[in-house]
Amino acid sequence: MKKDDCIFCKIANGEIPSKTLYEDEDFRVILDLGPATKGHALILPKEHYANLYELPEDLAGKVMKLAKKMATQMTEKLGCDGFNLVQNNGETAGQTVFHFHLHLIPRYEGDQQKIGWKPGSPTQEELEDIKNQIV
């Protein structure tokens, strides 16, 4: 299903033009308009899924395969020194467009970007409690 008021539905399906790097029946890969680095791109499914929780399993598998293919091609062509895959779910996690997308972010030595977190220092007991909460 497409969502009428979703900009990424329109881009993914070609109703709004984009700098497209790749397209198949399930996905379009476009350059991000507010790139973290040169070549920052987004993998967009053509159907509307708000986030990872809504994404069907078969597409979740396909998206990682496509990420590997794109990362390989982009690294070769752009000569980047590293690569981040980033995928935000929910406003708290930094999601601003509520149509699933996977960020492909080439990294260059000295690019001054920060993608990370401040590490915590839990005790073994705390880690055990968390593990038991999850599984």
Q: Which active-site residues does the annotation give?
A: 101
115 binds ligand AMP (CB under 6 A): no
The binder of ligand AMP chosen from 3, 6, 23, 32 (CB under 6 A): 32
Determine the interface stretch with ligand AMP among 45-53, 65-73, 93-101, 113-121 (rule: CB under 6 A): 93-101
Farthest-apart Cα atoms in the chain, separation: 53
66: part of which helix (H) or strand (E)?
helix 57-78
Mask for 42-81, x = binds ligand AMP (CB under 6 A)? ----------------------------------------
- Give the distance, in angstroms, between the CA of residue 109 and the centroid of all CA atoms in the same chain: 21
Q: Which residues contact 6 (CB under 8 A, 6 or more apart)?
A: 48, 98, 99
- Give the distance, in angstroms, between the CA of residue 39 and the centroid of all CA atoms in the same chain: 13
**Residue placing its CB nearer to Zn ion in the complex, 83 or 98:** 98
Decide if 77 contacts 22 (C-beta within 8 A).
no
97 binds ligand AMP (CB under 6 A): yes
Interaction residues for Zn ion, span 32-51 (CB under 5 A): 48
Residue count, binding to ligand AMP (CB under 6 A):
11
Report the distance separating Cα 108 and Cα 61, nearest Å. 28
| Contact footprint for Zn ion (CB under 5 A) | 3, 6, 8-9, 48, 99
